[in-house]
Homo-oligomer: A and B are copies of this chain.
Amino acid sequence: MLAIGTLAKRTGTKVQTIRYYEQIGLMPEPGRTDGGQRRYGDAELDRLAFIRHARQLGFSLEAIRELLDLSDMPDRSCAQVDAIAQKQLREVEARLVRLEALRIELQRMIGACNADRVADCRILEVLRDHEECLADHAATG
Contacts and interface: CB of A to CB of B under 8 A. Distances in A.
Interface of A: 12, 46, 49-50, 53-58, 67, 70-71, 73-79, 81-82, 85-86, 88-89, 92-93, 95-96, 99-100, 102-103, 105-107, 109-110, 113, 115-121, 123-124, 127-128, 130, 137-138, 141
B118 A76 contact: yes
A138 B89 CA distance: 19
A12 B124 contact: no
Nearest to A54: B127
Nearest to A137: B56
Contacts of A86: 110
This protein's copies in its complex: 2
A75 to B, nearest CB: 6
A98 B43 CA distance: 30
A12 B85 CA distance: 33
A121 B88 contact: no
Given A57-B137, A92-B103, A106-B57, A77 B115 contact: yes
Contact of A115 (B78, B107, B128): B78
Contacts of A67: 124, 127
